[in-house]
Structure 1
Amino acid sequence: MPTLTAVLGDLTDQHVDVIVNAASNAMRGGGGVDGAIHRAGGPAILADCIARFPNGLATGDAGWTTAGDLPARWVVHTVGPNFAAGERDRSRLLSCYRRALEVADRLGASSIAFPLISAGIYGWPRADAIAAALEAIRSSDALVDDVRIVARDAAIHDEVRAAIQAAEPS
């Protein structure tokens, strides 16, 4: 089982093999985490998204691109369900984490940094977003040994850290 940690900071500053992007279906950049990754990584990420995903990506799926100027080797893009728009199938949220870990394994990655998928502008209730992230990561048979959930907000970081600690065996 991978080491799972909560990190307070900027996802785009993580020195890992894979930074996970909470992308839109179009895979063309946007707001929130997606916009931050594209801004920090530069135009190479968008160019690779266009080349590799001309028709975008389905909700719950994941695929990789270059990391451009980010301090990572790859970006794994995954499309979370938009709770605010009525997409409430939790299995798709779980799939985001599982598929991202599968892609990271195929790339040979040993470290990965996730945002809290769908919990921002997509409006997934935060407590369940955290629970889904931990459930998917802990049940994965991925070979990645360093898994981080990165939060810019101290309150969210504290919630993720507490959930991780509560789920650890005594």
Structure 2
Amino acid sequence: MPGGGVAGALHSAAGPGLAEECRPMAPIRPGEAVITGAHNLPNRFVIHCLGPVYGVDEPSDHWLAECYRNSLELADSKGVESVAFPALSAGAFGYPVEGAAEVAMATVREVLPRLENVTRVRFVLFGVADEQVFSRCLLSTIE
């Protein structure tokens, strides 16, 4: 449902129809992913997942990996070719950016080869510092 951060920005840009479509699906649990239409956004779908609150939803690394895994598998089942993620749980939920990046990159690297439709995964991050951390983690998973 609408809130702050990335979810708030998405709901604001998508318009009130997004919240209406989400309402019957709420609440979701950490690691769970659901999909809706994109409403006023320029894409077909929005995948909603609830990342873990670091230090509360344990084991946090498991639930964070489940967010990425479930989101990618859901996108693939809908024929989506390209997915964009923020740094899930690394904002208000307190997950350290380095750890969040490691989980994200490892999970995407594990899941992507077995998907039929998703061929591109992007990370849309808050700033240069986060981008550097994610880039470093990406490079370390390739080496």
Q: Is the Cα contact below 8 Å between 1:80 and 1:118 reproduced in 2? A: yes
How large is the Cα RMSD of the aligned pairs? 1.2
The within-5 A match list for 1:38-57 is 38-51=11-24, 53=25, 55-57=26-28
List 4+ stretches of structure 1 deviating above 6 A.
none
Q: Whose relative contact order is higher, 1 or 2, with alpha carbons under 8 Å and at least 6 apart?
A: 1
Q: TM-score, normalised by structure 2?
A: 0.92
Deviations 1:28-81 (A, max 9, x none): 211111101100111111111013x0x411111101011111111100000001
Equivalent residue letter for 2:57: E
Query: Residues 71-110 of structure 1 correspond to what in structure 2 (within 5 A)?
Result: 71-83=42-54, 86-89=56-59, 90-110=61-81
Alignment of 1:8-87 (within 5 A): 28-51=1-24, 53=25, 55-83=26-54, 86-87=56-57
Q: Distance in 2 between the 1:152 and 1:91 partners?
A: 23
Partner secondary structure for residue 41 of structure 2: coil
Identical aligned residues as a percent: 35
Any conservation in 1 of the 2:97–2:133 contact (CA below 8 Å)?
Answer: no
User: What are the ranges of 5 or more consecutive residues in structure 1 without an aligned counterpart?
Assistant: 1-27
Instruction: Tell whether 2:94 aligns with 1:123.
Output: yes
Q: 2:127 aligns with which of 153, 160, 167?
A: 153
Determine the C-alpha separation between the residues in 2 that align with 1:167 and 1:91: 18
1:132 corresponding residue in structure 2? 103
Q: 2 CA distance for matches of 1:167 and 1:132?
A: 11
Establish whether residue 142 from structure 1 lines up as the match of residue 112 from structure 2.
Answer: no
Q: Which amino acid aligns with 1:136?
A: T
**Structure 2 residue runs without a partner (length 5+):** none
* Residues 132-151 of structure 1, C-alpha deviations (whole Å, 9 max, x = no match): 00111110022310100111
Letter in structure 2 aligned against 1:73: R
Give yes or no for contact 1:44–1:66 (8 Å, CA) kept in 2: no
Q: Of Structure 1 and Structure 2, which has the larger fraction of its residues in helix?
A: 2
